[in-house]
Amino acid sequence: MKTLNFRWQLTLLVATLVMAIVLPTEAARYRRVAVARTAAVRTAVFQVASTAKIAVGVNRSATLLDLKIGDHVSIAYDQENGALVAHHISDGVPHKPHNPSVTPAPSVHHAQKASVVYEHIHGIVQSVDVQAGTLTFTYKPK
C-alpha cells in the first residue's frame, strides 16, 4: 500500500513540475509567435519619379497602369524634400534573356546618382494613382 501511495505521489509531483515549468514556457513562446504574426503593417505613399524604371512580369518598360492592387513589389527609393520618391519598381519576376543561348551580362537594376544610395523595401501595392503619379504601399518593417 505504501508503494502505491509513493507512486501516486511521484506521478503527481512530476505532473505538477511539468505544469509549473513547461506550460509557462510554451505560453510565452505562443505569445511571441502571435506578436510576430501580427507585427505592425505600415503604409507608405511614394511619389513615382518621372524617370522611374518599372518592371512587371516580362515587361521591363511598364508604367504605373501595369501595377495592380495586391501585386508584391520591390521599390528602390530615396527621400527628396521630405517625400518618398520611387526610382525603381519591380515585381521580382525573373526576366528571360532575349537570346537564351547567350549568358546575359550583369545589369544595373537602377541608375543611381553619383552620391545617392537608394533604400529598398518590399511589400504589397494598395493603390495606384496614375494622374498624381503616386503608389500606396504596405509593408512590414524590419
Question: Per residue in 44-103, pLDDT tens?
Answer: 999 999 999 998 888 888 889 999 998 899 999 999 998 999 999 998 766 555 566 656
Q: Is residue 105 part of a domain?
A: no
- Do 86 and 129 have their domain in common? yes
- Give the residue from 68, 88, 70 showing the smallest Cα distance to 78: 88
Q: Is residue 47 part of a domain?
A: yes
Mean pLDDT of the chain: 79
**Cα separation of 135 and 126, whole Å?**
8
- Give the residue from 124, 119, 123 showing the smallest Cα distance to 87: 119
Q: Cα 135 from chain centroid? A: 16
Sign of CA dihedral 135, 121, 41, 59: positive
Domain extent, residue 19, equals 1-38
Global pTM value: 0.60
Q: How confident is the model at residue 2 (pLDDT cuts 50, 70, 90)?
A: low
Instruction: Select the more confidently predicted residue: 50 or 108.
Output: 50
Tell me how many domains the chain contains: 2
- Do 16 and 46 have their domain in common? no
Cell digits for 9? 505521489
Predicted confidence at residue 84, as pLDDT, reads: 93
- Do 32 and 49 have their domain in common? no
Q: Is residue 31 part of a domain?
A: yes
Is a pLDDT exceeding 90 seen at residue 36?
no
Pure H helices in the chain: 2-37
Predicted confidence at residue 109, as pLDDT, reads: 53
